[in-house]
Amino acid sequence: MQSIHLFVCTGLACALEGAEENLEALQKGLQQYNLKRKIRVSLVRCLGQCGYGPSMVVYPEGIWYAKLNEDDIAKVIQKHLIEGKAVTDLSRTPLDTEDSL
Ligand code: FES
């Protein structure tokens, strides 16, 4: 499996929309599928996409996910992290960070 690194925003705007609940769902899902040692998760304070939170980016592909909820997290785990297919209906092209400020 290729090394995967998730950047999960837990900043204020995303937290107000459920980022902490999403993070809990993500951690449980990674544990459930025995992925915790294969996928690095970094928490960030802001991805510059505050109007589209909760936000997350998956590398190395650089796929940005927006407005995620706990059900969406389950889809991203199953489709993207396990099957290797980006969930296109949840992804979006990020704004330039200057546009989001
Ligand atoms: S607080 Fe999450 S993108 Fe800004």
Read off the pLDDT of residues 7-35 as tens digits, 9 standing for 90 and up: 999 999 999 999 999 999 999 999 999 99
The continuous run of DSSP H or E covering 39 comes out as: strand 39-44
Q: Report how far apart, in Å, the C-alpha atoms of 60 and of each of 34, 64, 69, 84 are.
A: 20, 11, 22, 11
Domain carrying residue 79: 4-100
Give distance in angstroms: CA of 50 to centre of ligand 1.
4
CATH number of the structural domain spanning residue 11: 3.40.30.10
- The per-residue pLDDT for 95 is 72
Instruction: Output the tens digit of pLDDT for each of the chain's 101 residues.
Output: 679 999 999 999 999 999 999 999 999 999 999 999 999 999 999 999 999 999 999 999 999 999 999 999 999 999 999 999 999 999 998 876 555 54
Amino acid, single-letter form, for residue 42: S
The number of distinct structural domains making up the chain is 1
Supply 10's token pair.
């837990």
For the Cβ of 50 lying below 6 angstroms from any atom of ligand 1, the answer is yes
For the Cβ of 14 lying below 6 angstroms from any atom of ligand 1, the answer is yes
89 CB burial (10 A radius; 0-12, 13-18, 19+): exposed
